[in-house]
Each structure stands twice: as C-alpha cells, then as structure tokens.
Structure 1
Amino acid sequence: MPATSREIGRRPAPMDADYATLIADGCVWVAGDGAALAYAAFWPLGDHLYLDAIAVLPEAAGQGLGRALMDHAEAEARAQGLGAIRLYTNAAMTENLTLYPYLGFTQTGRRVTDGFDRVYFEKRL
C-alpha cells in the first residue's frame, strides 16, 4: 500500500498515521469486491480537500480502484463546495510524479519537511 522504506530510505509517513481515528472520523474510504484492495484518506482543510493517502495493493493494480477512489474524492470536494484537491508525495515515488499530472494535478512546490523530500500537487475543480 504506502511507499516502502526501500523506496524512500526510511519508514513512510502514512505508516504512522492514526487510522483508527481517521476511520472513526469518516476520513477513510475502502475499495474492493468484498476485500480491502485499495483505500484513500482525505478530509476538508480550509478551502480544499486534502488527500492524505491513496493506495492500491499490487495484486489489484489495473482494476480501476485507485481511479474510483480519486473520482470519489473529487465528488466529495465538489459536494462540499471546495475548489481544489491538494496532496503531496515523496519525490522518490517517481510513478506518482507522472501519475498525478496525468490525472490533472499541477505541481505547486517541492520541499523537505520532517526529513521527507516532498512534491506538492493541486487539482483545481
């Protein structure tokens, strides 16, 4: 699901998220046919929807689950009157650096935060 330590050189930040609280707060969505094959965590933050994590198990790749979760995030943002979705990814996640622009996101910055080399993206809705 989240990036591996091998890819970014340390334990990825999503691995330390408090998912029990995020689930209780209604911020996590799961996709799969009877099994949790993909998930997304997002919530409103100011004038935008903040996409904290989106991941698909490797064996479920190519089934459209990630796209369905991203579409759901966009629909939620629009329903809440939010004008954008914002996210960041680790610079070592090179597939993401190609994927997000393909999905309509624009890179808005890059900086090291908490020791992570992060690339920031936004999609205007």
Structure 2
Amino acid sequence: MQDRDDAITPGWVADLAEIGELVSGAYGHYVERMEMLPGPMRTDYAVPLAAGQIEVLRADGRIAGLLVLVPEPEHMLLDNVAVAPWAQGRGFGRRLMDHAEARARAAGYDRITLYTHVTMVENIEIYLRRGYVETHRAEVNGLHRVYMAKRLG
C-alpha cells in the first residue's frame, strides 16, 4: 500500500533505509561543527519504528520528513524532527512540528519537550519562535544538549 504524498503516516519497516538516508542528509552538515556524530545519526531507527514512534511525511514519492515521538509519563518527547535536504523550504518542518504538537494534545499531554545540540543554533531559534523555552542544559553521551519545552493550550 502506498501513502498519498503530503500525508503524515506511520513509518514502515521498508522505510528504514530511506529514513537513514534522510537523517544523514539532514544532520550530516553538523558533523564538522560538532566534531562528532549528532545524536540522530547514532540512532538505530528500527527500535522506535518497532515501538510505533516514527511518522513520516511523503512528498514526490519519497520520504521528505520524519518525526520520532516518545510518550513519557509527564510529557510527549519530540525525539527527532528532520526534513530531507531536497525537501527543505517547502513548509514540511512546520507541518511536522504542528503535527507533533497536535499528537501530544490528542494524547492528553499539556507539554511537549525536545532537545538539540548547543551548536545547532538555527534549530534553537526555530524552537524559540514556536514558543518553546529552554529548561536546562546537560551533557549526555558526550553531546552538549539544550532541553526545551512548550506548554500546549
């Protein structure tokens, strides 16, 4: 079965290779800046896929973006949002973020959280403009992370 383009749907096992390519393309340019692999490039996406935590946005017959949403006891964790380089500038990132927040609300959460690396200043700015606030910073597995949260109305 083929999903229609521009739909955000659960990922499939058959999507794993394309998900890996998308993540490498979306985060690869940070390797030099960070002097290490970004967290999303270290993830085995078979694990969140098996847990039903990955959703993908398809466009032009391929995966244009992805979300990894992890339900936590007190909040929904937006573990990853990424858009393929070829699909950037088309509003897909905004659609994915809107979808993540709507999914968190629908699941009964009043807060969504995320984290990003301190060197990903462009992403931090995007999240701030969307109403996220920094809650704290911490080092995890050698990654210096900025943790952020947004109250959902």
TM-score norm. by structure 1 comes to: 0.93
Write the distance in 1 (CA, Å) between the matches of 2:128 and 2:45.
27
Q: CA deviation at 1:106?
A: 0.5
2:47 corresponds to? 21
SS in 1 for 2:62: coil
Match of 1:61 among 83, 88, 105: 88
Which one has the largest radius of gyration? 2
Which residue does 2:113 correspond to in 1? 86
TM-fit CA distance, 1:27: 0.5
Deviations 1:29-88 (A, max 9, x none): 111222111111112111110011111112211111111111111111111111111011
Secondary structure at the counterpart of residue 148 of structure 2: strand
Alignment partners' CA distance in 2, 1:121 and 1:82: 15
**What is the match of residue 7 of structure 1?**
33
Residue identity (%): 41
List alignment gaps of at least 5 residues for structure 2.
Answer: 1-25
Q: Could you list the per-position Cα deviations for residues 1-28 of structure 1 after superposition, in whole angstroms to 9, with x for gaps in the alignment?
A: 2353112110111112121121121111
Structure 1 gaps, min length 5: none
Tell me, yes or no, if the aligned pair for 1:37 and 1:57 is still in contact at 8 Å.
yes
Q: Is the 8 A contact 1:50 1:86 kept in 2?
A: yes
Q: Which runs of 4+ in 1 moved over 4 A?
A: none
Q: Using structure 2 for the length normalisation, give the TM-score.
A: 0.77
d(CA) in 1 for partners of 2:76 and 2:52? 14
Is contact 1:29-1:69 (8 Å) kept?
no
Supply the RMSD in Å over aligned alpha carbons: 1.2
Structure 2 residue corresponding to 1:32, chosen from 46, 49, 58: 58
